């Protein structure tokens, strides 16, 4: 057993560092630091995606034949860790990390040829149509219907919590193509052009004041059957496969460590009147740091298992749970660290393009919105309660 | 970067799991508890035969040259069986201190004996006024024409009654009469002036308090050259905490497994306890805590030879985090067993007490979060 990286891996680390130094502009870095929602806006996020793609690093998890860089799990770890450390934009994961693997795994040759290059290059911007107003944690109860009409499906219904639907030109969605006894069996996975007539998008503001999610309505929306991925009625299986990617992204500790570092720096600065001198704050910083150490170690254990070809199993639920809880602990600490300045509300977005002097030092602006929006971490991608059910079932066998 | 077990490590784990699984049960524990030293000398001999006592000792001193990860593998198995043999006090701490501070002659004389199982060691360091501060020692050593004279009081000395040699820490009385550097002394059992107040230890085994009243020692009782021993003490205690962390993981996993089984067979309101979501989620939380503890114990072991600040922060982080997880798992295991969990009729209580002892030894979570913060420059020491 050994925690250190090899000479080759160290060299790769330097390569990543050099790439980031050469491509991450101060504007991108500032915009990322001042974005209190999960993902960067597309102008920032896609600029980074294009830079990565140009370097051949656009899709770290994909097989080489589709444009992946053929990295070992350790290289992926290093890439994610260096990216987090440098504060690169948070590229919307719906394309590269979510629909991409499903198309690679279950799509037709035509779908692969058409969609995958456009995901890599950032030409397409994806959103995810899973949740519905009546189907949150109980996703399989979804009601949006796709009725076969010749070579098309006609889709009616509504999707909600659709991240960046207002930016996306494409959506991958789970729709009901059949009424079956077991409701999971009637679901299909379908790719929808967002410009298709009959689609309307309503913004939903989150409690931090950000427009990141939406409700999307489908009113007799005609989608070619050729846009279905895989078999009719197998959408649930494909969707679950994807959710495992969403949960088990697997390399979250580096971002958490960076988020804690940001708060720690604030706590040690005169801006907050040196919040760290309050021993309660200092101890919480250590508690969170230790939790991040534990999560990182679990991630590395999973990584090691992957490197030797073992299946890490249901541990993705544990990683998701802990990541979301620690994330919330960091944002809570942030609010406590900035003290009085937490009272100031800046409603204008994006925060990095204000046309006026902000009420408090700029770097404090995202702290309260991050805490507020961050309540969603334990809800999206399967709530913490759902994750505990998965752990009970898959890890404990009850 | 590789966190998978090597073939040797896998074999070690298998043999440890097998030995502990076959040897340690309620009957065995009752017999051990009735032994004056709280453990079985015959089992210790078997530990020696299995190579476990030689494991972390350098090859030059009759050992196998293993590291903290191997110790962790053994300790996790020991936790599963609530082993009371003095592995921590003799091999991890005692031999560890001799290896870190002893002269070559002392290492040659003592370490092979530990490896072959003929020497029990103990470390007398903690004092009432010091709480968990490793640098705070009021026991004094005065140089005499023939050697040294020790006086002071030590508490929470693990396995002191069994030890052939107790390693006692003391501050040297300088010519001015002031307390000087910290040194370690080898005090043979039965040395006049040393009184052992032995007591049964929470969760199994024995511990004692020591009174040292003008204990006369020869010059060569001093471990090593008499330089400041505090860095070695801190390093060895960090290692001991990593080892204890692994032992705690074994205990926690056993509590989780046992509780899980119980909730499957125990029926109330016409269905097993495990069918209730509130129980399922509690168990999921316990499983998560076990997994985090496992990660932290491994991390502390892998960093046992890192530079001192990183090593100590990893050890304190592990001790603090595992302590918190251990309390949760232990308390919930009792809770989910219902009234039976509060009785001595089940083993649950024994495992519970051993985790409580773990949390207490070398300082609990509050102390170690604070130490972690101090070493990180967040709070003043």
Q: How confident is the model at residue A14 (pLDDT cuts 50, 70, 90)?
A: very high
Give the whole-angstrom CA distance, residue A282 versus residue A263: 11
Q: What is the pLDDT of residue A251?
A: 84
User: Considering only CB atoms, which chain B residues are within 8 Å of A392?
Assistant: 274, 280-281, 283-284
Q: What is the pLDDT of residue A364?
A: 98
Given the structure tokens 């509300």, which residue do they identify? A345
Residue from B70, B284, B306 to probe the interface with A (highest A Cβ count within 10 Å): B284
User: Considering only CB atoms, which chain B residues are within 8 Å of A321?
Assistant: 288
Active-site residue A65, yes or no? no
Give the whole-angstrom CA distance, residue B73 versus residue B78: 9
Residue A205 confidence (pLDDT) above 80: yes
| Closest residue, chain A, to B299 (C-alpha) | A297
The pLDDT of A379-389, averaged and rounded, is 93
The pLDDT of A327-345, averaged and rounded, is 97
- Residue A228 three-state SS: strand
**Which of A82, A246, A296, A299 is an active site residue?**
A246
DSSP for B75-100 reads HHHHHHHT--SSIIIIIIIIHHHHHH
d(CA B280, nearest CA chain A) in Å:
6
d(CA B293, nearest CA chain A) in Å:
8
Structure tokens at B157: 């000395």
User: Considering only CB atoms, which chain B residues are within 8 Å of A322?
Assistant: 288, 292
User: Considering only CB atoms, which chain B residues are within 8 Å of A395?
Assistant: 284, 287
* A283–B contact, CB cutoff 8 A: yes
A246-293 pLDDT tens trace: 554 468 999 999 999 999 999 999 999 999 999 999 999 999 999 999
d(CA A389, nearest CA chain B) in Å:
7
* A7–B contact, CB cutoff 8 A: no
User: Considering only CB atoms, which chain B residues are within 8 Å of A1?
Assistant: 2-6, 9, 69, 298, 302
Q: Are A294 and B295 a contacting pair at CB < 8 A?
A: yes
Domains and CATH numbers, chain B: 7-119 (1.10.540.10), 123-221 (2.40.110.10), 230-380 (1.20.140.10)
The pLDDT of A164-179, averaged and rounded, is 97
Q: Are A291 and B321 a contacting pair at CB < 8 A?
A: yes
Structure tokens at B190: 């039965």
Give the whole-angstrom CA distance, residue B187 versus residue B276: 57
Q: How confident is the model at residue A314 (pLDDT cuts 50, 70, 90)?
A: confident
A367-380 pLDDT tens trace: 999 999 999 999 99
Q: Which residues of chain B have pLDDT under 50?
A: none
B226-281 pLDDT tens trace: 999 999 999 999 999 999 999 999 999 999 999 999 999 999 999 999 999 999 99
Q: Are A293 and B379 a contacting pair at CB < 8 A?
A: no
Residue A94 has what DSSP assignment? I
Q: B28: exposed, middle or buried (C-beta count within 10 Å: 0-12, 13-18, 19+)?
A: middle
A131-156 pLDDT tens trace: 999 999 899 999 999 999 999 999 99
- The length of chain A is 398
* Number of Cα atoms under 13 Å in the Cβ half of residue B275: 8
pTM attached to this predicted model: 0.95
d(CA A71, nearest CA chain B) in Å:
15
Residue A46 confidence (pLDDT) above 70: yes
Strands A199-205 vs B121-124: parallel, antiparallel or unpaired? unpaired
Q: What is the pLDDT of residue A247?
A: 52
Q: How confident is the model at residue A245 (pLDDT cuts 50, 70, 90)?
A: low
Quick one: which H or E segment has residue A45?
A: helix A42-55
Indicate the residue of A2, A295, A396 with minimum beta-carbon distance to B2.
A2
Which of B271, B283, B332, B341 is CA-nearest to residue A397?
B283
């Amino acid at each position: 057993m050994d925690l250190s990286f090899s000479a080759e891996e160290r060299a790769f680390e330097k390569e990543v560092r050099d790439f980031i130094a050469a491509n991450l502009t101060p504007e991108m870095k500032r915009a990322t630091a001042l974005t209190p929602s999960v993902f960067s806006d597309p102008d920032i996020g896609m600029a980074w995606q294009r830079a990565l793609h140009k370097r051949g690093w656009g899709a770290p998890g994909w097989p080489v034949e589709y444009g992946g860089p053929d990295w070992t799990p350790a290289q992926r770890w290093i890439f994610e860790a260096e990216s987090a450390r440098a504060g690169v934009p948070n590229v919307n994961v719906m394309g590269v990390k979510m629909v991409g693997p499903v198309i690679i795994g279950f799509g037709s040759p035509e779908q692969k040829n058409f969609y995958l290059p456009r995901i890599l290059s950032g030409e397409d911007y994806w959103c995810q149509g899973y949740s519905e107003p009546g189907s949150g944690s109980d996703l399989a109860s979804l009601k949006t219907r796709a009725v076969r009409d010749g070579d098309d499906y006609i889709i009616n219904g509504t999707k909600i919590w659709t991240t960046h639907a207002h930016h996306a030109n494409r959506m991958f969605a789970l729709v009901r193509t059949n009424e079956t006894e077991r409701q999971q069996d009637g679901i299909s996975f379908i790719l929808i052009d967002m410009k298709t007539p009959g689609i309307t998008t309503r913004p939903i503001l989150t409690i931090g004041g950000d427009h990141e999610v939406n409700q999307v309505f489908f009113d007799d929306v005609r989608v070619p059957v050729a846009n279905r991925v895989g078999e009719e009625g197998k959408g649930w299986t494909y969707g679950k496969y994807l959710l495992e990617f969403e949960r088990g992204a697997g390399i979250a500790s580096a971002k958490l460590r960076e988020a804690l570092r940001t708060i720690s720096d604030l706590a040690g600065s005169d801006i907050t009147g040196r919040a760290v001198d309050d021993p309660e704050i200092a101890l919480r910083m250590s508690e969170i740091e230790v939790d991040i150490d534990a999560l990182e170690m679990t991630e590395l254990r999973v990584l090691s298992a992957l490197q030797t070809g073992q299946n890490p199993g249901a541990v993705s639920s544990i990683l998701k749970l802990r990541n979301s809880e620690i994330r919330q602990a960091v944002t809570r600490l942030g609010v406590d660290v900035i003290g009085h300045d937490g009272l100031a509300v800046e409603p204008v977005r994006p925060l990095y393009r204000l046309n006026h002097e902000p009420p408090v030092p700029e770097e404090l602006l995202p702290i309260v919105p991050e805490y507020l929006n961050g309540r969603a971490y334990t809800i999206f991608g399967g709530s913490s309660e759902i994750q505990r059910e998965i752990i009970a079932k898959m890890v404990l066998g009850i | 970067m590789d966190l998978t077990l090597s073939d040797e490590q896998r074999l070690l784990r298998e043999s440890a799991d097998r030995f502990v699984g076959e040897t340690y049960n309620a009957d065995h524990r009752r017999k051990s508890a009735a032994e004056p030293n709280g453990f079985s000398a015959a089992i210790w001999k078997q530990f020696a035969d299995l190579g476990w006592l030689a494991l972390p000792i350098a090859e030059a001193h009759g050992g196998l040259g293993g590291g903290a990860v191997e110790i962790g593998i053994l300790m996790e198995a020991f936790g599963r069986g609530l082993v009371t043999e003095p592995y921590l006090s003799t091999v991890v701490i005692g031999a560890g201190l001799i290896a870190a501070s002893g002269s070559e002659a002392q290492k040659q004389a003592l370490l092979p004996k530990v490896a072959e199982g003929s020497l029990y060691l103990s470390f007398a360091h903690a004092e009432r006024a010091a709480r968990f501060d490793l640098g705070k020692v009021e026991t004094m050593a005065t140089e005499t024409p023939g050697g040294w004279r020790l006086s002071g009081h030590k508490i929470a000395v693990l396995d002191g009654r069994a030890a052939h040699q107790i390693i006692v820490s003391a501050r040297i009385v300088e010519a001015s009469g002031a307390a000087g550097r910290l040194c370690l002394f080898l005090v043979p059992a039965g040395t006049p002036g040393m009184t052992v107040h032995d007591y049964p230890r929470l969760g199994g085994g024995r511990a004692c308090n020591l009174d040292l009243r003008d204990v006369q020692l020869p010059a060569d009782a001093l471990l090593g050259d008499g330089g400041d021993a505090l860095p070695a003490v801190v390093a060895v205690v960090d290692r001991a905490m990593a080892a204890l962390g692994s032992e705690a993981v074994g205990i926690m996993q056993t509590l989780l497994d046992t509780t899980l089984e119980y909730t499957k067979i125990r029926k109330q309101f016409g269905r097993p306890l495990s069918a209730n979501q509130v129980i399922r989620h509690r168990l999921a939380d316990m499983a998560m805590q076990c997994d985090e503890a496992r990660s932290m114990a491994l991390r502390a072991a892998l960093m046992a030879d890192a530079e001192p600040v990183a090593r100590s922060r990893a050890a304190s982080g592990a001790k603090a985090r595992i302590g918190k997880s251990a309390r949760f798992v232990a308390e919930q295991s009792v809770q989910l067993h219902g009234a039976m969990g509060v009785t001595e009729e089940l083993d649950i209580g024994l495992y519970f007490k051993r985790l409580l002892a773990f949390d207490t030894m070398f300082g609990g979570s509050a102390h170690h979060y604070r130490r972690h913060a101090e070493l990180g420059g967040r709070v003043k020491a």
